[in-house]
Structure 1
Amino acid sequence: MGDSTEYNLQFEKIKSEEEDSHITLPDYQILSYPADFTVEVLNNKMVSGDIEVRPYQRRYIWKQYQATRLIESFLVGLPVPPIFLYTDPVTEKFNVIDGQQRLRTIQYFIEGHFGSEQKGKATIFRLKELSEKSRWYNKTYQELSGEDKRKLLNCVLRAIIVKQLDPKNDTSIYHIFERLNTGGTLLTNEEIRNSIYNGKFNDLLKKLNKNENWKLLIGKPLDDSRQKDIELILRFISLYYNGQNYEKPLKDFMTIFMSKNRNPSDDFLSEIETIFNTTCEKIYTHLGGKPFKIKSGLNPAALDSIMVSFAKNLNDIPSDIKERYQNLVANDTYKLLIRNATTDETTMNNRMNLADEILFH
């Protein structure tokens, strides 16, 4: 995306889709323990990649006065709130749940620049927001005395390491991330998944989101700035492959599917890509653009039922499919199934069956 302009999908307002994010959670058995790291160790782990901050997590948003206050807190010995990490079971690296602004501030100060480079230039990180009477006023890391450098590097920042024991899936990490990562603009469900379940399947989702027919179907040529378009692809794929085992909440159903298929075989990835691309092509060819905009905006429940039905009948598309589609979206029962309790198990099952029945039987 060229500039800072954000592009967002416009959805039909459906209460049950919004309420899916507030479903009662299961009981979790979580192991958490404190680990005290020095600033030097944390910086080294950030530089080496042993602590990962995903590129699609929230960007660095701290102002220089906030960053300066953190460094000053270390230097004067004030307590700093702990960070939260979890150990990635695949890579054994730490993934940041909460605390990336603090970790990046440490890294940036030691490296000598504030924030990322902009057009090949970087702002020098000076402690200029301090009182002029402070002995650290306007100094960079390199300009600190040897004693102050050692003091800073030897400061301890506590990390809470989190590991889920039961259930065996790792959805608690998702929910912890969801609750703790509250600074600035809240991350969306898909942005959180993208941060936690980075892998070949996640890479495929981003690739599929570039499909031209897909863009025409959702009526949006540019990528959604909050990854809502990618979440719709995950919704389709998870329901196509595992819809018979669907249980609410939908967001956890998708999260578990993504977790289990984080790095699947190349054959499975190729199969997913073929089914998705062919489904999008068939729907656009026969129904045209924006077939999921039933009323005021894109209806995700219409999308999942129509796409899954097409995907299961790619070789048996009737000649009157356009008329069948019109009958479907005009059907009073279907209207209820795509607007009321859309993520309930019974509604989901009935919606899928009705779409398949009217469109292909």
Structure 2
Amino acid sequence: MADSAGPVIEATPESEDPEESQVPTESDVLDFEGEEIDREPIRADDALRYFGADFDVDGLVKRLDNGTFIIPTFEPLAADDIAGFEGFQRGLVWKKKQMDRFIESILLGYPVPGIFLVELQDRRYLILDGQQRLTTLQAFKTGQYRSTRGLSRFALRYVGDEFKGHTYQNLEPTSQRLFDNTFIQATIVVPKGAEGKRGVYSLFERINSGGTNLKPQQIRVALYAGATVNFVRDLNQNPNWRNLFGPHNRDLKDHELILRAISLAPTARGSHVFRPPMARFLNDYLEINQDQLPHNAEVIKETFTSAVRLLDEARGREALRIRGTQVNAAHTDAVLVGLMFALNCGHEITAPQVDAALSRLLANSKYQDAVSESTSHTEQVSARISLASKAFQGEPLANESE
């Protein structure tokens, strides 16, 4: 946590919160699949084994410092570093008040909630749940944390008079010992078999107890880090895509929509059928393509680049939005897959033709239904991709009056 590259500043109420806590929590993506239920959830016994262990705070901080415990971050990717698990806790931090209150609870002798760790093959441990607690412990003991203005001195502010203004370094020895010797229970999870990562994904969805809940793609890039996650990350930097989607999304919905387009592309060719729920469909795709790119990666990159350029030239930010300011996820996967399919079929398509095709789609009642009702049902996914593919190839649409 310590960083000698810059000066440590005294915190003020205006500057003390960690930088990432200022990121808006509202998503700018309208995704009707967000609340879908997995009708065939995996049983823990089929995918995981787990056991309990107790760690004192001093030992936890030492393990964080020496890299035995890993707090994953999405950028930069380093898949080799943690053996295929990475990235699902990016930029999610407590405000200073939450940090102070947590430290005060320990100093007052209150029990601390447990943490979840995933055991890796090299006997290091990925922090599945408890990142905020552990980073706060580490920051307090180190004496500094990264705030909106750089490195700030970790002095307690939002606490009772007994500890107000204290740092770890100037605590009474008794309080230091209480802090260091407080035990925290850990549940250590060991993935097993082919369903291990799916089990970890399911577990995390269910125990996602932090102050800021993580979203499916944030978990996904942790469990399936590798060539395809990196490939999606690179496509996400495309300037036309950035203009279409808007600012980078804290929940990684921009990454997820690209992944949806790539994984759904075979449905346009008729070589694959989508099976809900969407979350499992995307996970399964990454499971297959985790360590190597899809066989047609260069074609995907070329057609994605052409498709987002045409959409940007045709309508800019309005291309992925139906009403209001939110990106419509179902509409986005349909137009990306449909347009990429038309380009792969050899059609020479211009921006005005894309604009006309979008108008036809949005005027079509069957398409409107497919991007707004039961959008993760197999029939609806198939319908909207089929209609989009036809529109971009200049073919008639169902229910369309010519």
Tell whether the 8 Å contact from 1:128 to 1:139 is kept in structure 2 after alignment: no
CA-to-partner distance for each residue in 1:141-193, whole Å, 9 max, x for gaps? 33457776566545432210123446625223223222322332322322333
2:379 maps to: 346
2:152 maps to: 122
Structure 1 residue 317 corresponds to structure 2 residue 347: yes
Tell whether the 8 Å contact from 1:7 to 1:224 is kept in structure 2 after alignment: no
CA distance in 1, matches of 2:165, 2:35: 49
CA distance in 2, matches of 1:207, 1:97: 26
- Residue 159 of structure 1 aligns to a residue whose secondary structure is strand
CA-to-partner distance for each residue in 1:212-260, whole Å, 9 max, x for gaps? 2113333x2x223433222211221221257824221112222333344
CA distance in 2, matches of 1:201, 1:50: 27
1:181 partner amino acid = N
Q: How many residues align?
A: 348
Matches within 5 A, 1:34-113: 34-55=52-73, 56-61=90-95, 63=97, 64-72=99-107, 76=109, 79-88=111-120, 93-113=124-144
CA distance in 2, matches of 1:50, 1:272: 38
Residues 259, 145 of structure 1: alpha-carbon distance in 2 compared, 3 angstrom cutoff:
farther
Moved more, 252-261 or 206-215: 252-261
2:374 partner amino acid = A
Shift of 1:82: 1.4
Moved more, 328-337 or 314-323: 314-323
TM-score, normalised on structure 2?
0.72
Tell whether the 8 Å contact from 1:309 to 1:352 is kept in structure 2 after alignment: yes
1:238 maps to: 263
Structure 1 residue 249 corresponds to structure 2 residue 277: yes
1:223 maps to: 248
Residues 250, 194 of structure 1: alpha-carbon distance in 2 compared, 3 angstrom cutoff:
same
CA distance in 1, matches of 2:310, 2:256: 21
2:218 maps to: 191
Moved more, 252-261 or 302-311: 252-261
- Residue 305 of structure 1 aligns to a residue whose secondary structure is helix
- Residue 81 of structure 1 aligns to a residue whose secondary structure is coil
1:27 maps to: 42
| Aligned partner (choices 305, 324, 333) of residue 304 of structure 1 | 333
Residues 49, 359 of structure 1: alpha-carbon distance in 2 compared, 3 angstrom cutoff:
same
- Residue 47 of structure 1 aligns to a residue whose secondary structure is helix
TM-score, normalised on structure 1?
0.79
Shift of 1:104: 1.5
Residues 46, 103 of structure 1: alpha-carbon distance in 2 compared, 3 angstrom cutoff:
same
Tell whether the 8 Å contact from 2:20 to 2:92 is kept in structure 1 after alignment: no
Shift of 1:307: 1.0
Percent sequence identity is: 25
Matches within 5 A, 1:200-219: 200-218=227-245
Moved more, 323-332 or 29-38: 323-332
- Residue 187 of structure 1 aligns to a residue whose secondary structure is coil
CA-to-partner distance for each residue in 1:102-159, whole Å, 9 max, x for gaps? 211221222122x325534422345993563xxx886543345777656654543221
Residues 214, 181 of structure 1: alpha-carbon distance in 2 compared, 3 angstrom cutoff:
same
CA distance in 2, matches of 1:127, 1:325: 55
- Structure 1: stretches of 5+ with no match in the other structure: none
Superposition RMSD on alpha carbons, in Å? 3.6
- Structure 2: stretches of 5+ with no match in the other structure: 1-18, 74-89, 396-402
CA distance in 2, matches of 1:83, 1:343: 33
Residues 27, 189 of structure 1: alpha-carbon distance in 2 compared, 3 angstrom cutoff:
closer
CA distance in 2, matches of 1:183, 1:227: 18
Shift of 1:211: 1.6
Moved more, 266-275 or 187-196: 266-275
Tell whether the 8 Å contact from 1:108 to 1:125 is kept in structure 2 after alignment: no
